[in-house]
Each structure stands twice: as C-alpha cells, then as structure tokens.
Structure 1
C-alpha cells in the first residue's frame, strides 16, 4: 500500500483490511473550511473512515458505522479507480457522530461525483454489545485471502429470485459464510447493509431490462441503515420501482423476524456503452 507516512497514524484506529480496505496513494490535503484535517487517495468508500479516524481527538480504535449516505455521479468513467478527496464536515465526538464529504475525480482530474456520509462512532466493546449474534461459533471475523472473490465487488449468491410483478422482484441472501464479511470487523463477523448493494442492483436491473448495447448505471444513491448484517442470517431482499421523486428504485433488506434492516434508493440512467454518455 502506497501511503504518505504521516497518514499511517490514522490506520491503526480503524479495523478493516483487504478487500474492503484497498487504499493507495494516501496523502494529506489542506484542512477543510471547518478546520478538520482532510485526506486524498485512490477511491474506495473507507476513505471517509480514514478522515474521521485522523480527525478523532481520541487516539484509540473506533468503528465508523455509516448510518446514512448519499452519492451522485455527474460523469461515468470507464476507469475502475477514482481519486477521491475526503473532508470531515461536522463532528460531535461527545455524541459519537461525524460527517464526511468525499469528492471523486477521474485519473485525468475530471470531477466525477460526490458522496456524503454520516457515521456513528463506536468502540469495540460497544460494537459487540449492539450486534446480534446468530451463531456463537462464527462470531469472530475472518481474514480475506488474495485470490478469493471480493464480497464488496461481487454479489453474494441470490436464491429464490422471484418476479412478483413488473414493479417488484424479491430474493433471499444466506450469510452463512464468514468470508462474506471478510475484511470488515475482526471481533465479529458482521458488515453494513451497504456492502450488499450489488445484490440489490442485480435485482433492479432485472426490473429495468436493457436493449442491446445499452447499460443501466446508478447515477444517484441513498443509503439508510438500521443495523449491521450478521453472519448466520437469512435476509429477504425486495427491489421495487418507485413512481416519481428523486429516485427510480428502492431495495429493502428484511431479517427473518420481519424487521427492516435498511434501504437503498437508486436513480438509474441508461447509457450507450460505446458512447459512454448518460442519456438524461
């Protein structure tokens, strides 16, 4: 990992590893207008956690759990890696809350989009106390091994996919393999709902369909998370079309007790793969 030495100070205070944590070219930026330190690096969502850890006045390990987030792309790049700048926009350390704004750029420095995230800041003891344990034998997290599929890049296997109507598709996700949570938390095999987003996109695209040579991409996303997904759970995923508003589709995650765990809203746009331009 290529990082600026002064920023390695923040890395011991977050507890995530590859494949989720795969930052490169990490270096400082001038402080934001709010006065908090800022960071830049090759983009992956955890950059916000690094900025938060670097800004946290308590230099101890914390977990930054995204409660809600929004992201909007103004340009779709064919490049798989984006440079990003992360700045803390607010911090209420005494209330265990911190907010971050991340701006994304192509390798040629073209502005690609912006992400805003609000985190809950918890200690390891608090993380374990608020996390529901399904299988005590699988409580601890596991390390990801090079060459294994990344659970953050590839959908976990969907089962029992059912098209209920032209507006609704449902499926089941079984989280019985600790490796489906690899790279996130070491004391417990759990992860935020957002890492399951690729599964929801698969279902949404089943509703959308596509003409030959065309592709649907998510231009705008909003995530709201009620709790973590835990190894051992069986979740129901529901993807539905929305009518009107700022988003076109909603994905809901439900646990076996019938409680909603989180939602992800999307605005999909159809692009011409050859021209690589959104059709708005």
Structure 2
C-alpha cells in the first residue's frame, strides 16, 4: 500500500535504478525502486532525460517496482503512468517539458498533444493524447453515447454532428480500442474480406465498363488492384469479378448498372427510315418491262 512521503528529516532513499546509453546513443532506463517517494522517482526520471519539471503537488505514497529489463524514456513513462493513473495522477510529456497532473484538476488543453489515428500505434498504452475521428455510418450522437462509457476521469469528448467528427481525449490504449470499434462499424469485416462479387455483363465488354469505372473507384489507367478493391475479368470480357471494401463495391455496382445497357433500348426509328415491301398486280404490261420502268 501507499505510505506517506518522507519529510525533510528523513534521509533520501538510495536509488538503485540506472540509466545507460544504448548503441544508438539513446537513453535506456532500468527500474529498481523500493518504498521510494513518488517525488523522488519523478525528479530522478526528469533529470535522467534532461526534462524541465513542473510538479505543484507530488503524488502521495511510494513507488515499488523492480525490473531487470531496460526501457526507452517513452516506455518508462508509460510504466509509471500505469501506476499513477490508479492514484489519480498522470505524467504528461510535451517536448522537453514534464508535468505532473492531478486528474481531479482541470487538465490544461495545451498540455495534451493531438495525434492522428495512424500515430496512435506509436504511443504508450497510458499516454494521454487526443485524436480526431471521422465518421461515415456512425453518427456523432451515437459515438458520444457509446464512447462516453469508455472514458476515464482523464477523458473528454467533443462532438461535431454537422461534420460527422468527434475529438476524444484519452489514453492512447483506450483510443486504439475506440478506433477499432469505429472501424468495425464503418467497415464490417465480412464486407472487407473473402467475398467475391460477380457481375455478368449483357451488352458492354468489361474493358469498356472499366474505362469508366477505374477513375471513379480510385484505380489508375489499366490498374485493376489497390488496397481498397481488387478486380479481375474473364477471358471473354463478359464477366467482372471484384472483392474489396463495401463502399468501392457499391460504387462499381452502380456504374455497371448504368453503363451495361442495350444501346438500342428505347430508340425508335424515324418515319421513312424503316424499309418496307409493296406488291403490285400486273394485268396487261409485260413484267420485265414494268420492272425496268
């Protein structure tokens, strides 16, 4: 359990943790703390990494953690935050500045970095960040109703219904979960993988249809494959096979329906254009003479 921090008369505990430079010249840290006040731990971490520290009120209690493995500064920060979050605190690093934040207080907006959806995989499990998510099928109201249940005391959510976007502030690990939930709604797995759709053509050859379709579904000239859709044509050019994301398949369906039509359907010949046959009975004249006339 936590114990009270040492007062001024108590000797400073001996720090057995160490930091070394790896072969790339980067700092690696190994933890060996036993009953060490959090203030001492955080000050040591900031000093090892050359960080300016703002700590108005240190977390109460001690840090007990020993690990023979070495960690990068980012990984080390994540280890400490995993423990501090259970005590109502977190450490936020922004450039060369380290701030100790009490989660009962309002977190300054400028402290929390914006990261893209793709950058979430590079962030620590317990690193506090914020991310903008764009929605298509899910509404902003549905997202708020579903995701507010996942937010901790450090979490915030801002919805923009007209733009179909939400900004969520949370730990990177929790934001990765939210990202995966949104992806499951927007791009159901059964629609993405394994399903091959066949289009049987009646009037237009496949290549003529693909000339129209390729630029509209994101393919280059003579290209039949990218990360969103994969197309194949049978040797006779009468069938198109496609697999990929549902939105691209839906667009291809629409294009084929509109392009593969009978070119003569609905067209009526102008009067006088259609040939016809007339017969005439000949009673007196010679048929050969009448034909020549």
TM-score for both structures, normalised by structure 2: 0.22
Quick one: higher RCO (CA 8 Å, sep 6+), 1 or 2? 1
Q: Between Structure 1 and Structure 2, which shows a larger proportion of strand residues?
A: 1
TM-score for both structures, normalised by structure 1: 0.23
Larger Rg: 2
